[in-house]
Amino acid sequence: MSTQVVGAVERAQRIKTLWLIAGIVLLGGLALASWIAPENLSPPPGSFKERMAASYLLPWQRWPFGTDGMGIGLLEYALQGARIVTFPAVVAGLLVSSLATLSGLSRCADIGWTDRALQVFTELVGALPRLVVILVVALAVPREWRSLYPIGIAWALLAAPGAMDEAAATAERLGGARFVEALRAHGFDAVRIYVYHIVWLNLRSVLVRQGAEVMMQVVFLEIAMSYLAAARNEPSFTHGDNLHSWASLLYDGYTSLVGGVPMYHALGLGLGLVFVVAFMAQAFRMSARAR
Amino acid sequence: MRIIAAVLLPLIVPFVITEILWALPGDPIDIMCPPGLCTGQAQMAQRLCMADGAWHFYSCWLSHAVELDFGRSLRVAQGEHVWVLLRESLPTTAALVGASLLPVFVLSSLASANLLPRALDYLWQAVGLVPSVILSLLAAAYITISYGAGSGDGVPAMLRLGFGALVLACADGTLAGAVIGTRSVFDEEIKARYIQIAMLRGESTFLNALPNVTPALIGQFRGRVLHIMSGAVIVEVVLDISGLGDLLWDGTLLQDFPVVLAAAFAFSLMSGALLLVQAVAEVAVEMHIRRAPAVPHDAGEAVPA
């Protein structure tokens, strides 16, 4: 019986490792894509006739994703979109995880005022629809400084109270200050107690899940905001005019659905990239799932 | 605390936007009315109370807002009274949010009564992973293909509202959160000792647990309404529904500060009202529990021997 239990635990551990590898590979892929993304889109050289001949090519006609109406490879759109979202999303995820860690640790260290401060913050900021706050932030950022960073950080701050509350509740279930006292009685030092026992062994699943969720939400927020701007034929709040979001792929794909423009492959690529981000977040969540 | 937040919220939001307007590089009146595009900045600054700093503008704006005078739109609908724009858009957003709450309320009620199979949780979670912009886009494509791009009245308008409500209910984990969240609150409560005693007495677990879980459920419900209101901005723009979210988006995109101020103020009023409702409901539940009402014996399920 005990062998079966050990076997099941080991199998679960192997599956979690596979999820972690999948998440890291996808995040690494996005980071690599953002690193090699071109500054500007490059229309094919040659005469107008040659450029027209290179437009609306399907993936098997122009590897790997085909081209748009100007003959530009959709790969460039995918790379530029990754450049817009990857690092701001990671920063937002890390910010939420850090704030949740602090909240969990403060509950274990029995620092009372943090709970009160968190409650006030949650009541005021959490009482507003998040997108309304995000739009006010977008309005505040001067056009020449357009970037996803301020919006991503604002979103992370809005999502933080929920994550902090969950981390604090998890720390409370551990026993809070009594848990720390018990470990001190075993002779462990503060670093081992707080970093290893509390954060790594107990808060990890909450921190990774919340961080991964916010990361995904920031990417989806960027796509939504860029799509809405494209629908109004206005520049996006999230990136400069030289860059193109994944929303451009979805917008082109939408015109193919309703207008008969042969850009179904753009829609497929846009949806595929959304799926990749959702899968990556799910992979990180599964890899850190508590036993 | 909650009542204070409810009162402060509609005051803080326009104040923050005012401060942002003054913190931006350049003169606020030049941001509202760029010198190259329009003239008469001095008169406009006097008329909009912008000549004497942020605080004067804020107090002036607030005193006018109390009388439902939010000024005129600068770019979204040039010259139109913002109150007229708000009055036209508010009912649409209210209908959209209300309609989207219907499936959320029904399914979470079924989940709380254990009438919804737990196996379906994976379905809600899978649908919830899809962002609202994607689902709205598919809905918009269907309506445009079926009824044409300019279809804004009659059946297409109803379809836009219906699909919008469905998207808001399903996307971004709303339904999954509602169903699983509500059920988990009941699951936790049912572990309590008083519920086990109630079961031994032949009383209903649901009716016993309900008063104690209601404050948590009200809090969750307020969170869902806010989440849906937030998503309404995306859904309204993509599905071409002329609501408050659509107005706020256009105002932000075109830097039409009177529209943004008024729309954000309207959102903060709704949020404040939700906070008040939650506070009142919590007090009512507390009073109900203190009255210690009897739970009818025949309302419960039979206790297994």
State the ipTM, two decimals.
0.84
Q: Least CA distance to B264: which residue of chain A?
A: A132
A254, B252: Cβ pair inside 8 Å?
no
B277 burial (CB, 10 Å; 0-12 / 13-18 / 19+) is: middle
B147 chain-A contacts, CB cut-off 8 A: none
A80 Cβ contact partners less than 8 Å away, ≥ 6 residues apart = A37, A38, A41, A243, A244, A245
A258 chain-B contacts, CB cut-off 8 A: 140-141, 144-145, 149
* Residue from the list B6, B137, B249 with its beta carbon closest to the beta carbon of A254: B137
pLDDT band at B294 (very low <50, low <70, confident <90, very high): low
* Residue from the list A127, A247, A282 with its beta carbon closest to the beta carbon of B271: A127
Q: What pLDDT is stored for residue A259 in this prediction?
A: 79
Q: Least CA distance to B22: which residue of chain A?
A: A140
B131, A224: Cβ pair inside 8 Å?
yes
Mean pLDDT of A181-210: 91
Q: What is the DSSP code (8-state) at residue A135?
A: H
Task: Please provide the DSSP assignment of B108-138 as one string.
Answer: HHHHHTT-S-GGGHHHHHHHHTS-HHHHHHH
pLDDT band at B24 (very low <50, low <70, confident <90, very high): confident
Could you say which residues from 262 to 281 on chain B have a Cβ atom under 8 Å away from some Cβ of chain A?
264, 267-268, 271-272, 274-275
What is the C-alpha R_g of chain B? 24
B24 versus B123: which is more confidently predicted? B123
Tokens coding A56? 């609306």
Shortest distance, CA B157 to any CA of chain A (angstroms): 17
Mean pLDDT of A240-258: 90
Flag the least confident range among B22-26, B77-81, B143-147: B22-26
Could you say which residues from 244 to 283 on chain A have a Cβ atom under 8 Å away from some Cβ of chain B?
247, 250, 254, 257-258, 271, 274, 278, 282
Question: Where on the phi/psi map is residue A45: left (φ > 0), alpha (ψ -120 to 50), or beta?
Answer: beta
Spatial contact of B164 and B236, defined as CB atoms under 8 Å apart: yes
Distance of alpha carbon A159 from alpha carbon B216, whole angstroms? 19
Distance of alpha carbon A262 from alpha carbon A269, whole angstroms? 14
Smallest Cα–Cα separation from A143: which of B253, B15, B14?
B253
A247 chain-B contacts, CB cut-off 8 A: 133
The domain limits of chain B are 88-290
Q: What is the DSSP code (8-state) at residue A73?
A: B
Could you say which residues from 134 to 163 on chain A have a Cβ atom under 8 Å away from some Cβ of chain B?
135-136, 138-140, 142
A231 chain-B contacts, CB cut-off 8 A: 237-238
Q: Does A125 touch chain B (CB under 8 A)?
A: no
Q: What pLDDT is stored for residue B302 in this prediction?
A: 47
Residue A29 has pLDDT above 90, yes or no: yes
Distance of alpha carbon B70 from alpha carbon A85, whole angstroms? 37
Smallest Cα–Cα separation from A128: which of B263, B68, B250, B129?
B263
Mean pLDDT of A195-210: 92
Shortest distance, CA A184 to any CA of chain B (angstroms): 31
Residue % of chain A over a pLDDT of 70: 99
B25 chain-A contacts, CB cut-off 8 A: 142
Looking at domain B88-290, which CATH architecture does it have?
Orthogonal Bundle (1.10)
* Residue from the list B145, B230, B253 with its beta carbon closest to the beta carbon of A257: B145
Tokens coding A39? 């500054």
- What does pLDDT average to over chain A? 89
Residue B105 has pLDDT above 70, yes or no: yes
Render pLDDT for B188-212 as a digit per residue (tens, 0 to 9): 888 889 888 988 888 888 888 888 8
Render pLDDT for B134-147 as a digit per residue (tens, 0 to 9): 999 999 989 988 88
The pairs formed by B191-200 with CB atoms below 8 angstroms and a separation of 24 or more are B198/B295, B198/B300, B199/B300, B199/B303, B200/B303
Mean pLDDT of B217-239: 91
B141 chain-A contacts, CB cut-off 8 A: 254, 257-258
pLDDT band at B9 (very low <50, low <70, confident <90, very high): confident
Render pLDDT for B251-273 as a digit per residue (tens, 0 to 9): 988 888 889 999 999 989 988 89
How would you write A14-60 as a 3-class SS string? HHHHHHHHHHHHHHHHHHHHHHHCCCCCCCCCCCHHHHHHCCCCCCC
Shortest distance, CA A49 to any CA of chain B (angstroms): 31
Distance of alpha carbon A75 from alpha carbon A83, whole angstroms? 12
Q: Which among B222, B235, B253 is the top mutation candidate for probing chain A, defined by the most A β-carbons within 10 Å of its own β-carbon? A: B253
What is the rounded end-to-end Cα distance, in angstroms, of chain A?
18
Q: What pLDDT is stored for residue B31 in this prediction?
A: 73
Q: Least CA distance to B129: which residue of chain A?
A: A278
According to DSSP, the residues that pair with B81 across neighbouring strands are B72
pLDDT band at B303 (very low <50, low <70, confident <90, very high): very low
Shortest distance, CA B202 to any CA of chain A (angstroms): 32
Q: What pLDDT is stored for residue A209 in this prediction?
A: 92
According to DSSP, the residues that pair with A193 across neighbouring strands are none
Q: What pLDDT is stored for residue A44 in this prediction?
A: 80
Could you say which residues from 15 to 44 on chain A have a Cβ atom under 8 Å away from some Cβ of chain B?
none
Spatial contact of B22 and B53, defined as CB atoms under 8 Å apart: yes
Q: What pLDDT is stored for residue B145 in this prediction?
A: 87
A135 chain-B contacts, CB cut-off 8 A: 233, 248-249, 252, 260, 264
Render pLDDT for B27-55 as a digit per residue (tens, 0 to 9): 777 777 777 767 777 787 887 788 788 88
Q: Does A122 touch chain B (CB under 8 A)?
A: no
Render pLDDT for A49-90 as a digit per residue (tens, 0 to 9): 887 888 888 999 888 899 988 889 999 999 999 999 999 999
Mean pLDDT of A111-139: 80
B227 chain-A contacts, CB cut-off 8 A: 129-130
According to DSSP, the residues that pair with A67 across neighbouring strands are A73
Q: What pLDDT is stored for residue B154 in this prediction?
A: 82
Mean pLDDT of B107-126: 89
Q: Least CA distance to A280: which residue of chain B?
A: B129
pLDDT band at B85 (very low <50, low <70, confident <90, very high): very high
- What does pLDDT average to over chain B? 86
Q: Does B77 touch chain A (CB under 8 A)?
A: no
Spatial contact of B279 and B2, defined as CB atoms under 8 Å apart: yes
Q: What pLDDT is stored for residue A121 in this prediction?
A: 76
